[in-house]
């Protein structure tokens, strides 16, 4: 009977969801809203009789939906793209999350809600919807425009900060307090977990996937991938983190494999089914009467999301060096909340720390802002034009000067290569430090929960802690030695670039020698003190510690070359993983461009908007997606004209883009076609 009841519930959910989503697709509305509406229809609050017999079963399936949804977000996430998101994306994401979190908290307190409700509300409002944005931009055929790439960069940073936010909210919910020390400890443990998981995953998972892919069996590949997904989610849950965190991390690791496009195609139908159940389960929790009762907070929060996200994302993108039009496109694309907000809301329900009304309020705000998203994106050009017309000419000129100055900042420079090396070495040393911290944190956990193979060891026994500390110190030696080598190189680089003969005169060589020696000494001492503080829970008695330090020093001296080879081999394996994926992605992108790209020649008319304006002022690529690759004037051709080139009436422009991009460019220029290239 239980099996029949489960089958009935699943059949009702999927049949109603299918019917409602067909209607929503015909109305050109996001299917996510259709799933939520289906949940409201079959839920206990809407019909006069219950269509679902066992909501617990549906909620269990919804948990699988959360895992697969976060896994899919991880597959779309790319670690390589973190290097290219740049200052505009970082500024916009940070400003958006901080301001919207504060706005959500203040709105909650204004309506008299509990502190925990207000904290979770702020977290829900701070995250935009990756799923909604990707679908809307795809339907509007604007995925390849310049502002879309910046939007994706902001979403990447949001995903990272969202994962950290889920971990912090879990800690806050369990302790009931918020302190700087607890936040720092939680973030430190999270950073260590992420570093170990990502490095270990990148070393092992791509090779496993490549091995399985050799059999040319889709069945083997999808089973292996789903096994990794659920297994890593279970590992995260065992370590005290959410299953969503584990699914996202393993998805991000698998995204770096060469088989990513094949995996996405295999996982997509499974993800879609369970994601549909997840969103239907959200609808089951919505009581329409509760929405009517809380219509004022819903209205205020919707305004806060739309206005707050447009303002913060536009300002962040502009301060990062993007022009006003592009910045407004970015802000108006991100003015909604979605699946991440639902996951945060479900976390509050699971931990039983939020009120029952908070979930449906968040869903209602998401529904309204999602419906507004396509209209906001379409209105971005008109809004930018209206803002430019409304501002004084001097203000517009100052905004353009600022954009050009920030865009040109950092190009070239005598010490540009040195700065690049410093950043690269600094990032590597930071990663080594995080991995070292993870080893000692894991050691502290092992000493507090000794496994059976340690014999009669009990938690807190001195010999157990001494053994664990020694093993952790030896295991972390490759990272310590690598950091020491980087510190030596950094000292030499700083001495050569910062101490010049013009400043130091005859003492140049001696000052350089002091700096080259002091940097590695000071850095190594600081790292050693950090390790001692980090391992304070494991430190043996002082008389034993001295002997252990001698042992560790001898091991480091005897095996330093071996440790260095192990470290460099692991580093080379990581680089190989990224390079293989980059080559595969570049080949796919090149084929896509060759398949879709078209060329067209247009003549600039005398009465058109282009005559007398520079290429940068036209912003043709930003607004239409087409690029000017050549210009012909009076029989002379100029290949790839610069942004400061002035367009004159009668010029022949060679444009590159898809058929849709070229049509939009002709319309924007008011030009006529002139045949092929």
Domain spans of the chain, in order of start = 2-385, 416-581, 597-673
From the list 599, 600, 598, the residue with the least C-alpha distance to 674 is 600
Place of tokens 């700083």: 494
Q: Distances from the Cα of 672 to the Cαs of 606, 622, 629, 662, 675, in angstroms? A: 12, 21, 17, 11, 9
**pLDDT tens per residue across span 318-346:** 888 788 888 888 898 888 887 778 788 88
For 530, the 3-state DSSP assignment is helix
* Tens-digit pLDDT profile for residues 446-456: 776 666 655 44
Most confident of 164-173, 449-458, 461-470: 164-173
- CB-neighbour burial class of residue 356 (10 A; exposed 0-12, middle 13-18, buried 19+): exposed
pLDDT at 476 over 70: yes
Q: Residue 449 has what pLDDT?
A: 66
pLDDT given at position 454: 53
pLDDT exceeds 50 at position 677: no
Tracing tokens 């400043």 back to the chain, one arrives at 503
| Alpha-helical segments (H) within 259-294 | 260-284, 288-293
Fold of 597-673: Alpha-Beta Plaits (3.30.70)
Residue 302 banded pLDDT, cuts 50, 70, 90: very high
pLDDT for the residue numbered 407: 57
Task: Give me the phi and psi of 637, to 5 degrees please.
Answer: -105, 140
Is beta strand 598-603 parallel, antiparallel or unpaired with respect to 636-639?
unpaired
- Using an 8 Å Cβ cutoff, are 257 and 205 in contact? yes
**Is a pLDDT exceeding 80 seen at residue 191?**
no
Distance, in Å, from the CA atom of 260 to the CA atom of 462, rounded to the nearest integer, reads 48
Note whether 111 and 286 are within 8 A (CB). Answer: no
What CATH number does the domain located at 2-385 have?
Answer: 1.20.1530.20
More confident residue, 431 or 35: 35
CA–CA gap between residue 577 and residue 580 (Å, rounded):
5
Least confident stretch, 7-11, 63-67, 177-181, 635-639: 177-181
Q: Tell me the C-alpha distance between 304 and 651, whole Å.
A: 47
CB 259 within 8 A of CB 221: yes
User: Quick check: 54 and 9 in contact, CB under 8 A?
Assistant: yes
* 303 pLDDT more than 90: yes
How far, in Å, CA of 253 to CA of 199, rounded?
9
**How much of the chain, in percent, has pLDDT values that exceed 70?**
77
pLDDT tens digits, one per residue of 236-277: 888 777 787 788 888 888 888 888 888 888 888 888 888 788
**Residue for token digits 């239907």?**
280
Residue 676: band (very low, low, confident or very high) from pLDDT cuts 50, 70, 90: very low
Average pLDDT score, the chain:
77
339-370 pLDDT, tens digit each: 778 788 888 887 788 888 888 888 888 888 88
Beta strands in 234-379 (DSSP E): none
> Mean pLDDT across the stretch 126-153?
77
Q: How far apart are CA 362 and CA 117, in angstroms?
A: 11
For residue 410, what pLDDT is reported? 46
Whether 2-385 and 597-673 share one fold: the answer is no
Q: Say what the pLDDT of residue 495 is.
A: 73
Contact 125, 337 (CB under 8 A): yes
Most confident of 299-308, 384-393, 592-601, 628-637: 299-308
- Residue-wise DSSP of 595-615: HH-EEEEEE--TTSSSTT-BH
pLDDT confidence of residue 595: 45
| Structure tokens that stand for 295 in this block | 């219509």
Q: Which residue has better confidence, 407 or 312?
A: 312
With beta carbons less than 8 A apart as the criterion, state whether 101 and 336 touch.
Answer: no
CB within 8 A of 156, min separation 6: which ones?
Answer: 77, 78, 81, 82, 85, 89
- pLDDT of 590 reads 44
Q: Please, which residues bridge with residue 627 across strands? A: 656
Between 131 and 255, residue with greater pLDDT = 255
Query: Beta 627-633 vs 598-603: how paired, if at all?
Result: unpaired
Confidence of residue 70 (pLDDT cuts 50, 70, 90): confident
Higher-confidence position of 559 and 267: 267
Residues 328 and 314 sit within 8 Å (Cβ to Cβ): yes
Query: Is the sign of the CA dihedral 89, 93, 96, 98 positive or negative?
Result: negative
* pLDDT value at residue 411: 45
Q: What pLDDT does residue 674 have?
A: 47
Cα–Cα distance for residue pair 281/344, rounded to 1 Å: 15
> In this predicted structure, what is the pLDDT of residue 273?
83
DSSP state of 661: H
Q: Is 518 in a helix, a strand, or coil?
A: helix
pLDDT range class, residue 309, cuts 50, 70, 90: very high
Mean pLDDT of 500-517: 73
In angstroms, rounded to a whole number, what is the distance separating the alpha carbons of residues 319 and 90?
11
Contact (Cβ atoms closer than 8 angstroms) between residue 156 and residue 89? yes
Banded pLDDT at 591 (limits 50, 70, 90)? very low
pLDDT for residue 421 is more than 80? no
């Amino acid at each position: 009977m239980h099996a029949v009841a489960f089958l009935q519930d699943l059949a009702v959910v999927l049949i109603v969801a299918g019917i409602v989503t067909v209607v929503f697709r015909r109305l050109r509305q996001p299917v996510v809203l259709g799933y939520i509406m289906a949940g409201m229809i079959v839920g206990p609050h809407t019909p006069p009789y219950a269509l679902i017999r066992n909501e617990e079963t549906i909620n269990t399936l919804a948990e699988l939906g959360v895992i697969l949804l976060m896994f899919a977000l991880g597959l779309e996430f790319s670690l390589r793209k973190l290097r290219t998101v740049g200052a505009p994306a970082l500024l916009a994401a940070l400003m958006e999350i901080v301001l919207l979190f504060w706005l959500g908290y203040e709105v909650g307190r204004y309506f008299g809600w509990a502190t925990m409700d207000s904290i979770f509300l702020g977290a829900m409002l701070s995250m935009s919807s990756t799923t909604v944005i990707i679908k809307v931009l795809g339907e509007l055929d604007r995925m390849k425009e310049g502002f879309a790439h910046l939007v994706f960069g902001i979403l990447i940073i949001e995903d990272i900060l969202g994962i950290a936010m889920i971990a912090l909210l879990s800690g806050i919910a369990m302790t009931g307090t918020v302190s700087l020390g607890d936040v720092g400890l939680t973030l430190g443990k999270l950073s260590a977990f992420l570093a170990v998981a990502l490095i270990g995953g990148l070393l092992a998972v791509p090779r496993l996937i490549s091995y399985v892919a050799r059999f040319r069996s889709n069945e083997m590949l999808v089973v292996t991938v789903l096994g990794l997904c659920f297994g890593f989610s279970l590992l995260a849950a065992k370590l005290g983190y959410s299953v969503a965190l584990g699914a996202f991390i393993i998805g991000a690791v698998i995204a770096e494999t060469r088989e990513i496009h094949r995996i996405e195609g295999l996982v997509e139908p499974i993800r879609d089914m369970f994601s549909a159940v997840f969103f239907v389960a959200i609808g089951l929790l919505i009581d329409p009467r509760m929405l009517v009762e809380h219509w004022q907070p819903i209205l205020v929060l919707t305004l806060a999301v739309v206005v707050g996200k447009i303002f913060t994302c536009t300002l962040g993108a502009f301060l990062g060096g993007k022009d006003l039009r592009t910045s407004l496109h970015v802000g108006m694309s991100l003015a909604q909340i979605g699946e991440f907000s639902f996951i945060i809301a479900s976390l509050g329900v699971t931990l039983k720390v939020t009120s029952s009304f908070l979930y449906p309020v968040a869903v209602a705000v998401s529904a309204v802002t999602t419906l507004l998203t396509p209209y906001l994106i379409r209105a971005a050009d008109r809004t930018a034009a209206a803002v430019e017309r409304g501002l004084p000419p001097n203000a517009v000129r100052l905004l353009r000067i600022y954009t050009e100055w920030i865009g040109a900042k950092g190009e070239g420079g005598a010490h540009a290569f040195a700065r690049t090396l410093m950043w690269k070495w600094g990032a590597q040393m930071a990663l080594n430090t995080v991995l070292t911290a993870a080893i000692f944190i894991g050691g502290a956990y092992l000493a507090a929960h000794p496994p059976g193979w340690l014999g009669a060891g009990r938690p807190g026994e001195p010999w157990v802690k001494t053994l664990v500390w020694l093993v952790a110190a030896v295991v972390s030696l490759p990272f310590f030695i690598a950091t020491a080598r980087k510190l030596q190189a950094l000292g030499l680089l700083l001495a050569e670039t910062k101490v010049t003969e013009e400043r130091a005169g005859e003492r140049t060589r001696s000052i350089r020698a002091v700096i080259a020696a002091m940097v590695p000494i000071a850095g190594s001492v600081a790292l050693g003190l950090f390790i001692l503080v980090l391992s304070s829970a494991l430190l043996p008695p002082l008389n034993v510690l001295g002997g252990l330090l001698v042992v560790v020093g001898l091991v480091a001296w005897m095996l330093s070359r071996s440790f260095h080879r192990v470290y460099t081999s692991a580093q080379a394996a990581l680089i190989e993983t990224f390079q293989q994926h980059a080559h595969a992605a570049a080949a796919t992108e090149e084929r896509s461009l060759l398949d879709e790209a078209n060329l067209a020649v247009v003549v600039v008319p005398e009465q058109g908007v282009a005559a007398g304006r520079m290429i940068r002022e036209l912003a043709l690529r930003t607004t239409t997606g087409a690029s000017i690759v050549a210009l012909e004037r009076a029989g002379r051709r100029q290949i790839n004209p610069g942004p400061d080139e002035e367009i004159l009436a009668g010029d022949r422009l060679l444009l590159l883009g898809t058929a849709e991009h070229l049509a939009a460019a002709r319309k924007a220029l008011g030009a006529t076609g002139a045949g092929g290239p």
